[in-house]
Structure 1
Amino acid sequence: MTDLFDLMPPENGPTPGAPRPLADRLRPQRLSEVIGQEHLLGPEGPIGAMLGSGSLSSVILWGPPGVGKTTVARLLAEETEMHFEQISAIFTGVPELRKVFEAARLRRRQGRGTLLFVDEIHRFNRAQQDGFLPHMEDGTLVLVGATTENPSFELNAALLSRAQVLTLNRLTLADLERLTQRAERELGRKLPLDGPARDALLEMADGDGRALLNLIEQVASWRVPGPLDTGALASRLRRRAANYDKSGDGHYNLISALHKSVRGSDPDAALYWFARMLEGGEDPRFLARRITRMAVEDIGLADPQAQGLCIEAWETYERLGSPEGELALAQAVVYLALAPKSNAVYTAYKAAREAARKTGSAPPPKHILNAPTRMMKDQGFGAGYQYDHDAEDAFSGQDYFPEGMKRPVYYVPADRGFERELRKRTDFFAGLRAKRRNEER
């Protein structure tokens, strides 16, 4: 996808006097005019430092749509007097890439460098990504890739080792207000909105500068007698769809935020992220599965009812569907957030699995093995087994681990919720076990 203030190459540009979109007219002419990315472009930022030293290296620009990735790349080429070449991974195949590389080699022989801007670089496969490496290494070109997806997941290690990943920020409301004021100066008039409506317009853009300028262009074209309020604005404009890809970063970031809000016992934050995912089009069944996982992983036996409540909420959703069934899932989210937390069983389970891997095929002690045949009895199977119900307190205290294995402690109940009661029980049996050992001595 193209980025903020992007233009077609000059030979394909509009004829003189043709109408120009507001985003085109406001395209920054210098890096200092780019809004919202001062952490990269300032003198102490990585790009500012590169320009200050006169040495530009390959970079990957990672950020959401409409924050200036294409603009930054174009202005970098201008400030370093390099030829700017732009391609999109969506429309470019191997033959086109070969032509780009050959043209860059010819320019290099003529003493001019090439800045190759690759939009949606994550859409190139691994082999295509590897194709850039020799041309980056021998100085034929400086690669500036742009992606909205996490580079550590989408780009191969060889490419990442040769390019610095720089993160562009989503534009804040303050950034969007600065952009709005710049647009009003270009238009020569204020937008016909009152204060709250103006704030609502900024929120509609959802951090996307290009989307904001498109909205401003619509609002500026209206013929209205006076400033519009929020209600009138909402009736004329629809909020931009939230940036949420059910298979991309947005999906994983929001489910992480939901899970950690539940773990952090914050029902309000948990409900917010739950709602954000639903508004983004997430499948409620996926949320039902993840909520149940939270009950198992983070609440556990501190509240034994939590898992069952999640299963019931899941079943309720299956019976009612959307949107009514989503309320049952919301109730489960709030319940989990307020439930006592414990990962004691989760921790114990992982420790037991690790011990199982280390001990391999160590057999159980013979005294707890059944002996259905005479031969097995003769070999000592079941010999010495103590039937717990016949023992005092219905507890024999025998060792059930493989012979020679030092008795471990995996499960340590938390002193919260129902596990407080379970801790009393584990302490009680530990005391009885020690008592039986002393009696055997």
Structure 2
Amino acid sequence: MSNEIKVPTFPESVQDGTIATWYKKPGEAFSRDEVIVDIETDKVVQEVPAPADGVLKEILKEEGDVVTSNEVIAIFSEGGAAASDDVTSVDSSADAGEILAAPAAKKLADERGISLADVSGTGKGGRITKEDVANFSKAAPTEEKPAAVVPAQAKAAASPEPVMQMTGDRVEKRVPMTRLRARIAERLLEATQSTAMLTTFNEVNMAPVMELRRQYKDRFEKVHNGTRLGFMGFFVKAAVEALRRIPAVNSSIDGNDFVYHGYQDIGVAVSTEKGLVVPVLRNCENMSIAEVENGVRDFGIRGRDGKIGIDEMQGGTFTITNGGVFGSLMSTPILNPPQAAILGMHKIQERPMAVNGEVKILPMMYLALSYDHRIIDGKEAVQFLVAIKDMIEDPARILLEL
């Protein structure tokens, strides 16, 4: 019996997607809920699981093809071969010395210059999976070796593969822009061209929060089932209180209307291999510091694995981004439209500071607030940053809402 594999239904904000990676080839068996194909949209990479046990008969949409919601992309035969016989049914014709590897594993190995002979397979029958290649790359990184030099004109327009081009001893690699990267670029240009964006700065003494962490981090982790006490929880809760005080910062522009939000849905920028994504913590005004830290940690793990859902990145009334984790001392973050403001955290660095007529060495962090001057005045932006500074330098104010 033949069945169809369809593209999942995309949200209204997503028009189409691109076939990123097929994990099975025609003739290969799979189990129910096993990931068959990745579809890349302008927001996330969405995994498509198998609807039932079966064998892939025909692929209708190849890697690089554009697809829309509910479009049929493959045909499979339900049942036919037991999932446990996957390796036998697929590789019975393979030569004895042939390396068994999933197509996605071969593709990733080629991109990273890794020999599959050096990778240990953890899949059925010793098959090398994509995760095996990724983990091998992390454990024993190797220098990328361009196995073949391909003239630029030989590259197909829709091909997702990188192309090596050599002129003498000078090598260049040309890689097509992913849909996610293209969408990020589009939104960044939109933010800079369609808003009256301005950035104001302040600095905050991190010593009180750092001392609080030092004193309670072990107990906090034990009480909250392994959740670690970081800085983001303090900044999110400080931002919640500051947003209450300065409603304009928690606003957006819709046509000719100013929209002031009576709730705090705060987006937290997460860096992934495919680009920056901003999942949203909903109703932060009702969350504890532990719940914030747990949510941020969860986003970080799922962002790395490409498992953040499209719906989790919708909405948001304010955004926080932390370039400090990469060593950034100061930056001017770009707005995340239609939001009116974004807070940038940075590296903590010891600096000599004047305190009551004396010079002291303190762990300081620069804060940056980029905002849309059409709805937020400079006075409100400065007041917002001062409120954040006051609460971080005296964390008791966060709990007491002072």
Same fold (TM over 0.5): no
Give me the TM-score of the superposition, normalised by structure 2.
0.23
Compare the two structures and name the one with the higher strand fraction. 2
Give me the TM-score of the superposition, normalised by structure 1.
0.22
Compare the two structures and name the one with the higher helix fraction. 1
Q: Which has the larger radius of gyration?
A: 1
